[in-house]
Chains A and B, each alone.
Chain A
Amino acid sequence: MVGEVGFRKWGWVAFFLAPSLIGLLVFVLGPILSSLGLTLFDWNLLSDPKFIKFDNFKELYHDKDFWIAFKHTLMFITYYIPSVLVTALITALLLNQRLRGVSVFRTAFFVPVVASWVVVAVIWKWIFNPRFGLLNFLLAKLGIEGPAWLFDPDTALYAIIITSVWKDTGFVAVMLLAGLQNIPETYYEAAKIDGARPWQRLRFITLPLLTPSIFFALIISLINSFQVFEQAWLMPERFARSGTTVVVEQIVNNAFRYSRMGYAATMSWVLFVVIFAITFVQIRLQKRWVNYDL
């Protein structure tokens, strides 16, 4: 660099870096490390923390509530991920056409994305209301008797999944749309000359060339959905909660309701390790289906 030596240079580095670095150490890195340390302690914030080695992990292994929450989280993921990817793909393909006014539609798909989960939750609670809600009213018109949705532990999770797909479709679609717009027009022109029909172009050009974007969207959605919380916390009625508890809800309950800081920290680390492992496996598996060149 021009015009700087020794002491003065470090002064400038410190000036620019200090606010961020000190903050990161105190509010991010410190908490990460102490959270790891906390997993070995029993602490209710009132008495002194007690060192209990790996007892938190042992307890977690036998904790039925945690594993039920884990199962609900996996169920959420199983239905949510394919649904949101398919709806987002359809949306992105529609938005990728050269149509007049297409940006207005794109804006419409983004309104649920930018709305707070609390707002979305109260709107959909009202729509899912079995007696007075819009949804069961429309279903009744089609001659279907709608379920009790958020009032029933067996259907509440599905209502939460539907709402989540609705909220996130626009978000995932924009990621895919960026990929679609990177596919060179020349491929389509060549295919047209060869007489490829529209669905053939979709099957043999668009989808293979879109796999990097689909992979990116899949990874991001997976990471986010393991951390599903707000909708599961806010939407179900009290007596339907047994069918919707998710992992983060268990962390929150143990930390803030039962004041079991060490145990809650243990859960958060288990969640982190699971997310990390799944992401790692996905990155490994991508060679089998993701095309980075064609």
Chain B
Amino acid sequence: MSSITVEQPIVKEPAKWTLPRGWQRQLGHGLSYLMLTLLALIMIVPFVWMFATSLKTREFILETPPRLIPDPASFDSYRQLFDLIPIKHMLFNSILVAVVGTGGQVLVSAMAAYAFARMQWKGRNALFTLYLATMMVPSQVTLIPLFILIRELGWPNSYQALIVPGLFSAFGTFLLRQHFLTLPRELEEAAFLDGANHFTIFWRVLLPLSKPALATLAVFSFMGLWNAYLWPLFVARREDVMTLPVGLAVLQGGPRALTQWNLVMAGAVITVLPILAVFLLAQRWFVQGVVTSGIKG
């Protein structure tokens, strides 16, 4: 709006200082941007600080005042980190566990969801209620027997220990069942008449139509596996199967490094970059998942 003078009604109002409508909106937007920028900076600066510290050389870490832009900047700490711990192998372990675990969980959940959503059988609802009931139990309750079971199976310090217990997610089954229920039945009825069997329908009809739901579950599963700390800490302590978060915690707390902050931050950068990339690519489904489930992964 360009006109500054707004025609006031003739009725006398109590004197009140107001800006013209258009200006008010501009001011409001300006304030919103200001607050958003401030809050976003609070969220991002710690990560910038992490990256900056990782580029500093040893003698400059403890300088005061602390500098946000390192001078001189170098990748020395990354080189040292690669010499100090088998971080490349940890990166490999993390990727392997997250990729295989995610693929497995999505497949197992989708198959069970198909049986619950698209087939009629006796006891179906009772069994589904049981699935839902297990979702209420916090993971600490199963932690101890699960640890004992892994020992009995001879699985400590193995990839199975990291992957297998996470494959059977009642949450994943629930999420995909809800989605399958929304798809029209006519789809598979037509396919059945053409002589297709259940597997063909599941694989060729339902899964391709469920890509968003599958992606949502996959993103959560991947994030959960990638960031997992408590479980790997106790079943995968050996370096050959150790994942990045455990390795990073060892680096930070262990006597070996005596907390060289530039090395620790280099490790943090390597741990966070892959998951950040996945998030940026899959942001849409991640947001959708938080909204529908409140699960953090």
Residues of A participating in the B interface, judged by any CB pair closer than 8 Å:
1-3, 9-10, 12-13, 15-17, 19-21, 23-24, 26-32, 34-35, 38, 45, 90-91, 94-95, 97, 99, 102, 105-119, 121-127, 132-134, 137, 166, 169-171, 174-175, 178, 198, 216-217, 219-220, 223-224, 226-227, 229-230, 234, 248, 251-252, 255-256, 261, 264-265, 268-269, 271-272, 275-276
List the count of A-B residue pairs having beta carbons below 8 Å apart. Answer: 259
The complex places the Cα of A19 from the Cα of B108 at a distance, in Å, of 6
Assess whether B138 is in contact with A23, with CB atoms less than 8 Å apart: no
Indicate if B198 sits at the interface (CB-CB under 8 A): yes
Indicate if B126 sits at the interface (CB-CB under 8 A): no
Sample of 21 A–B contacts (CB below 8 Å): A9-B121, A16-B198, A17-B115, A30-B145, A31-B149, A32-B142, A34-B148, A35-B144, A45-B151, A113-B296, A115-B272, A116-B227, A118-B229, A132-B62, A134-B49, A171-B290, A216-B294, A217-B294, A252-B230, A265-B141, A271-B141
Indicate if B202 sits at the interface (CB-CB under 8 A): yes
Name the prevailing secondary structure of the B interface residues.
helix
Residues of B participating in the A interface, judged by any CB pair closer than 8 Å:
28-29, 32-33, 35-37, 39-40, 42-44, 46-47, 49-50, 53, 61-62, 64-66, 108-109, 111-112, 114-115, 119-121, 127, 130-131, 134, 136-149, 151, 164-165, 167-168, 170, 173, 189, 192-193, 197-199, 202, 223, 226-227, 229-230, 234, 244-246, 248-249, 252-253, 261, 264-265, 267-268, 271-272, 275-276, 279-280, 283, 286-287, 290-291, 294, 296-297
Assess whether B140 is in contact with A248, with CB atoms less than 8 Å apart: yes
Kindly provide the distance from the CB of B247 to the nearest chain A CB, expressed in whole angstroms. Answer: 9
The complex places the Cα of A122 from the Cα of B100 at a distance, in Å, of 28
Assess whether B143 is in contact with A268, with CB atoms less than 8 Å apart: yes
Q: CB < 8 Å: which of A24, A99, A226 contacts B32?
A: A99
Chain A residue with the shortest CB-CB distance to B46 = A123
Assess whether B32 is in contact with A171, with CB atoms less than 8 Å apart: no
Given A99-B33, A111-B276, A171-B296, is A9 in contact with B119 using a C-beta cutoff of 8 Å? yes
The complex places the Cα of A117 from the Cα of B112 at a distance, in Å, of 31
Q: CB < 8 Å: which of A91, A123, A132, A272 contacts B66?
A: A132
Assess whether A109 is in contact with B43, with CB atoms less than 8 Å apart: yes
Given A32-B141, A111-B43, is A117 in contact with B227 using a C-beta cutoff of 8 Å? yes
The complex places the Cα of A169 from the Cα of B198 at a distance, in Å, of 44
Given A127-B46, A170-B43, is A1 in contact with B119 using a C-beta cutoff of 8 Å? yes
Assess whether A20 is in contact with B138, with CB atoms less than 8 Å apart: no
Assess whether A28 is in contact with B268, with CB atoms less than 8 Å apart: no
Chain B residues with CB under 8 Å of A35's CB are 141-142, 144-145
Chain A residues with CB under 8 Å of B192's CB are 2-3
Q: CB < 8 Å: which of B42, B61, B229 contacts A117?
A: B229
Assess whether A24 is in contact with B170, with CB atoms less than 8 Å apart: yes
Kindly provide the distance from the CB of B180 to the nearest chain A CB, expressed in whole angstroms. Answer: 11
Assess whether A255 is in contact with B147, with CB atoms less than 8 Å apart: yes
Given A116-B275, A248-B140, is A122 in contact with B121 using a C-beta cutoff of 8 Å? no
Assess whether A28 is in contact with B271, with CB atoms less than 8 Å apart: no
Chain A residue with the shortest CB-CB distance to B202 = A16
The complex places the Cα of A117 from the Cα of B167 at a distance, in Å, of 22
Kindly provide the distance from the CB of A197 to the nearest chain B CB, expressed in whole angstroms. Answer: 11
Kindly provide the distance from the CB of A4 to the nearest chain B CB, expressed in whole angstroms. Answer: 8
The complex places the Cα of A140 from the Cα of B281 at a distance, in Å, of 40
Kindly provide the distance from the CB of A36 to the nearest chain B CB, expressed in whole angstroms. Answer: 8
Kindly provide the distance from the CB of A222 to the nearest chain B CB, expressed in whole angstroms. Answer: 11
Assess whether B44 is in contact with A108, with CB atoms less than 8 Å apart: yes
Assess whether B136 is in contact with A276, with CB atoms less than 8 Å apart: yes
Chain B residues with CB under 8 Å of A226's CB are 138
